[in-house]
Amino acid sequence: MLDKLVIIGVGLIGGSLARALRDAGAVEHIVGVGRSQANLDVALKLGVIDAKVDDVAQAVEGADVVVIGATLGATGAIFEALRPVLGPSTVVTDVGSAKSRVVGLASQILGERSKNFVPGHPIAGTEKSGAGASFASLFSGQKVILTPLENTRSEAVKLVKAMWEKTGATVVNMSAEEHDRVLAGTSHLPHFLAYALVDTLASSVDAEEMFRYAAGGFKDFTRIASSNPEMWRDITLANKDALLIICELFRKRFDALRTALEAGDEQAIERIFTSAKTARDRFVVQE
């Protein structure tokens, strides 16, 4: 049982975490902090949080856990605000989709207090945003990755692990570098491509006609292009190096497929399609 949980950025992830922990009877009091008072009002009205506080120092006083659910671009400023007011036993975690940058900022800004920081990333979400989009079952059956720093206290890791397990998630540990490499391919590149495809069609002279006849395949592929642009801008820039590497690998495979198409090489096209289907059926569908 957490006596007091503070969530900075009560959006889809932070709000869903609050709902899940409340449903599990794992938290007594939840305080929300954020730049959007309208969003905090929604969170308060829906019972996602018990109170909203403008001042970070007031919000984190006596907190067991502080969860940073804001965009990655705001993480540094949040660390600066937290550094002088964190209690000696208050554990801080985050939900950002790129970890190496967050780990570096924590070490640089929090200093000795980084021993109570446990970087985290729930592998779950939707294209919706805000407290109103949150729901308690978002993390059920999903994975949460923790990337502790070298000096992170084991007790802090255990607490954050237990918190996420209360939501129904499975928790795994890995290095920040490995996390960023894996997520560049499985999450960041797909968003990059979805945004690029929709923008390409939207810029065409017959965009209206194209979108009028868009069916299930297009909607499935591009659903994530409805995600928060500010959040994904920060993610792609924070994980730029790993994303550029996987972009180059994708470009080479795409060029090979395009060359086969130009040549009318049906065997090459079918071979690539079959390889992709086999891999997806093995690694994604069965899971």
Note the CATH number of domain 2-174.
3.40.50.720
pLDDT confidence of residue 285:
62
pLDDT confidence of residue 286:
55
Q: Kindly report whether the global pTM for this prediction surpasses the value 0.75.
A: yes
pLDDT, tens digit (0-9, with 9 covering 90-100), for 208-246: 999 998 888 999 999 999 999 999 999 999 999 999 999
Q: Which CATH superfamily is domain 178-285 in?
A: 6-phosphogluconate dehydrogenase C-terminal like domain (1.10.3660.10)
Mean pLDDT for 182-196 is: 97
SS3 sequence, the chain? CEEEEEEECCCHHHHHHHHHHHHCCCEEEEEEECCCHHHHHHHHHCCCCCEECCCHHHHHCCCCEEEECCCHHHHHHHHHHHCCCCCCCCEEEECCCCCHHHHHHHHHHHHHHHHHEECEEECCCCCCCCHHHCCCCCCCCCEEEECCCCCCCHHHHHHHHHHHHCCCCEEEECCHHHHHHHHHHHHHHHHHHHHHHHHHHHCCCCHHHHHHCCCHHHHHHHHHHHCCHHHHHHHHHHCHHHHHHHHHHHHHHHHHHHHHHHHCCHHHHHHHHHHHHHHHHHHHHCC
- Between residues 35 and 8, which one has the greater pLDDT? 8
Q: State yes or no: pLDDT of 67 exceeds 80.
A: yes
Question: What does the domain layout of the chain look like in residue ranges?
Answer: 2-174, 178-285
pLDDT, tens digit (0-9, with 9 covering 90-100), for 95-130: 999 999 999 999 999 999 999 999 999 999 899 999
Considering the chain, what is the average pLDDT of its residues? Answer: 95
Q: State yes or no: pLDDT of 287 exceeds 50.
A: no
pLDDT, tens digit (0-9, with 9 covering 90-100), for 146-160: 999 999 999 999 999
pLDDT, tens digit (0-9, with 9 covering 90-100), for 245-259: 999 999 999 999 999
